[in-house]
Chain A
Amino acid sequence: MSLSILVNTSACVGAGQCALVAGEVFEQDDDGIVVLLEESPGGSQESSVRRAASLCPARAIELRG
């Protein structure tokens, strides 16, 4: 199953929790704002992506599927 990810960059506070727990899917730009490396990561990344979304303190990561 593949997950699709939406990030809301205007809500992102640059906390970096996402890149800390799922560094293959999320990166940060120079201002710390989330950069999505992969919009539909493979199944092996699903649990870390879900954890990233739930840990994001700005609730800026939305998952579909």
Chain B
Amino acid sequence: MTGLLELLGLGASAELLSLSGWGGNLLRGLANSLQIAFGAFGLGLVIGLFGAYGKLYGGKVTRDLLAIYTTVIRAVPELVLILILYYVGSDIINKISEAMGGGRVEINGVAAGIWVLGIVQGAYATEVLRGAIKAVPVGQIEAAKSYGMPAFLTMRRVTIPAMMSFAVPGLANLWLIATKDTALLAVVGFNELTLETRQAASSTRAYFTFFLAAGFLYLMVTLCSGAVFARVEKWARRGQPSLKGGAR
């Protein structure tokens, strides 16, 4: 193995990327990135579900507030949002802490990242889920109603399962965006994959090696996600004959 790498002139790269060297840092960065992506995606789903229901069934005030939320978040570039939410957020937390007589608080990077990206994801998820809920045939919900299902049970047992097949492709996109948006957190000094890569590269001057390695890691995340979402989509579409035929 080592012999082969030497032969290809990649010995130096292999050494740089070894786990005891900078490679370990890259993997730690990746772990941080994934943690944030997971959290943000999950938070986004929760916000999105409430947002979608609020937009569809809420009163005038709820709908207006949600319209402002989704419009503003989707209009402003993510990088700018991250800077605003991060600095405004930590400022508010510190103000509160000082008002309560405490000192300045150390903001937990992961938690901050999840909040910031989660709020961004929530705006997109609201629209994805709203569309999916609207695509559920009314008859499905009417049947639930006509058999005395209360609203929340209907949502849990009928609407959400029935909308999943419409929502999954959009949600898969959102997840991939979440994994990549974590890179933007580098601007606030958070040690995710991109920042770790930049540090490794500038310390060793092996830019090509490290950015290629980081690109490879992002690609692997995408490929694995693709496989997972393919299965989720298959499950969500259970009961629907495939478009390729084979029904009946």
Do A and B belong to a common assembly?
Answer: no
Interface positions of A (Cβ within 8 A of B) = none
Interface positions of B (Cβ within 8 A of A) = none
